[in-house]
Amino acid sequence: MKGTRRHRSGRPLLGFFLLALSAGAYVVERAYGGDWANWNHILGFVLLVWYLWMFLRDRSTVLLTSFYQVYYSLGMLVSAAIISGGTHMIEINQYGTQNGFFWIMMIYFVAGLEMTRVGYECGGRVRLGPGVLRPPSGAGRLILLLVVGATLAIAAYVFVRTGGPLLRGVDRVTFWQTMAPSGTSLLPSLVNQSFFFAAFYFLWQRRSGRSMLLPALVVMGYVLTAIFVLGQKFSAFIIFLNTWLLLLPGVLPGFRFGPKYIATVAVAMAAILAYTAASYLLDEKDISFVFTRAALQAQLLWSVFDEPGALGLLPQQLDCYFGCGSFASGIDYITQRYLPAGLYNHYADSGNALTGFMPAISILTFGMIASLLLHVTVTFILGFAQRKMVATFASGKPIYGFLLFKAQFSLTLIWFASSLGPLRGLILTLALIITFRIAFVRNGGPTEKTSGTRSLGATA
C-alpha cells in the first residue's frame, strides 16, 4: 500500500511541534484564558489537519486501521472547541470556558497516534512463531454466510414482530428494554460484531474478482438493520466504518486511498450527520441541538479541569477508576461527581449514560502523568495488534482474524470508553487465540512475520 512507503514529509517534526505548541498553549490558557484562546484553537485545528494529511501519505495503513482512535479524538477536540466558546452543557448545567483542556486532548491525540505508529512498525518486526493454518476457502465462505445469514434472519424476525424502534416512534433504549421479543436482546451486539464477516466477505469477493451481488446485498442488509431494527443514529455506522477500514489494508493491499475515496468517506460521514440531524428534527428538536449535543462529548474533561483540587500530576484516587465506595465503576464515580443528583438518578434508572470518559476518568484518578503514560502504552499495543491483523486478513484467515479483531476492539473500548465491561470478553478472546495458535499451527511454514509480509500480495 501507499502507506508502506516512507516519505520525508516532515510529519514527525510537525507532530513534535504540535505537542510543544499544545503544552505551551495549555499553560498560557490556564493562566490567562480569554476569548483570544478560541483563535488559538483554530490554529491548532489547521495544524492538526495538515499533520493528519501528512500521516495519511506517510502511514496510510496505520491511520486507516486506527479509525476509531482518530474519530474519538477528533470528536473530543471539536466538542472541546465548542465548549470553550461558551456553549451551555445541558447535562451538567454549566457554561463552557477556556481552561486548557482542548490542548490536553490534542496532546493525547498526537502522542497516541505516534505511539500507534511505533507499535505498528514493531508488529512488523517481532515474530510470534509459526503462522496459523488457513481454512479451506469453501469452509471459510460457508462459516461467513452462516454467521451473517443467522444475524440478518434474527433482525428480520424482530422487525416483522415489532416494526423496530424507528417505525414505532420510540428511542432504542426503551425499545430493547420493553418491546423487543424475548431472547433477542443480544442482537445489537451480534450485529456490531458480525459485521466483520459481512465486510470481510465483501472485500474478499472483490479481491477474488467474483460476483459482488450477494456481498452487496449482505452489507445493505446490515445498514438497514442498523437503521430500522437497532434504531441507531450514528454509533453503529462508526463501528461499521471502523471494521471496514481495519479490514481494507489487509484484504486489498493494493488499494490506494486517494482523493476520490477521501471524498467518498466525507460524503458518507456527511450523510450520517444529516440523518442524525433529521432524526433530531423529527423529535421536535431545533437544528442547533446538534451543536448542543456535540458539546456533551467533552463535558467531563472540561469538568475535571474546571474543578479546583480535582487536577493533579500524581494519582489522587487510584481505586476509583475501577469503582470505589458505593460506586460500581469509574464511570459511575465520575458521572455522580459531575451530574446533578436528579439527572444522575434518572440516567441510572433509564439506562442512559454519558460519553467522553477518556481521558477524564484516568486524569481524575491516576493523575496527568500516569494517565498519559497509560495512554501511550495502550495505543502502542493497539498499533502492534493492528499490524498482526493486517497480515492475518491478507492471508485469508477470517476466523483467526475475527479473534484478533475482537481482542483489539475490546481493548479499544476498555480504554477509550473507560469501561471494564469488555474485559471478560477480552480475556476469553485471548484464551481462544492461544488455543487457536496451538491447535492450528502451520508446522514447518514461515514465521508469522514473513508470512504476513509475503501474503500482502497474494490472491485468493
pLDDT in tens, 435-453: 988 888 766 544 444 343 3
DSSP-derived 3-state class of residue 25? helix
Supply 87's cell numbers. 456553549
* Model pTM score: 0.88
User: Rounded to an integer, what distance in angstroms lies between the CA atom of residue 405 and that of residue 246?
Assistant: 8
Q: What is the pLDDT along the chain (460 residues), one digit of tens a residue?
A: 444 444 456 899 999 999 999 999 999 998 886 666 678 899 999 999 999 999 998 899 999 999 999 999 999 999 999 998 888 898 998 998 899 999 999 999 999 999 999 999 999 898 876 778 777 767 778 889 999 999 999 999 999 999 999 888 888 888 988 899 999 999 999 999 999 999 999 999 999 999 999 999 999 999 999 989 998 877 888 899 999 999 999 999 877 766 777 777 777 777 776 766 676 666 656 655 566 677 788 999 999 999 988 888 888 888 899 888 888 899 999 999 999 888 888 787 776 778 899 999 999 999 999 999 999 999 999 999 999 999 999 988 999 999 999 999 999 999 999 988 899 999 999 999 999 888 887 665 444 443 433 333 333 2
Our measurement of the distance from residue 134's CA atom to the centroid of its chain's CA atoms, rounded to an integer in Å, reads 28
Percent of the chain scored above 70 by pLDDT? 86
- Residue 33 DSSP SS3: coil
CB 84 within 8 A of CB 305: no
Residue 90 contacts by C-beta under 8 Å, 6 or more apart in sequence?
A: 292, 296
What residue spans define the domains of the chain? 2-125
Residue 94 bridge partners (DSSP): 89
How far apart are alpha carbons 196 and 211 in whole angstroms? 19
How distant is the alpha carbon of residue 29 from its chain centre?
Answer: 29
The 10 Å Cβ neighbour count of residue 286 is 10
Burial 403-433 (b: 16+ CB within 10 A, else e): bbbbbbbbbbbbbbbbbbebeebbeebeebb
Alpha-carbon span 396 to 144, nearest angstrom: 12
pLDDT, tens only, 253-297: 877 766 777 777 777 777 776 766 676 666 656 655 566 677 788
Residue 397 and residue 404: Cα distance in Å, rounded? 11
Nearest to 107 by CA among 24, 215, 199: 24
How buried is 186 (Cβ within 10 angstroms: 0-12 exposed, 13-18 middle, 19+ buried)?
exposed
> Exposure of 159 by Cβ count < 10 A (0-12 exposed, 13-18 middle, 19+ buried)?
middle
Partners of 330 in beta bridges? none
Q: Return all residues near 45 (Cβ < 8 A) that are at least 6 apart.
A: 77, 81
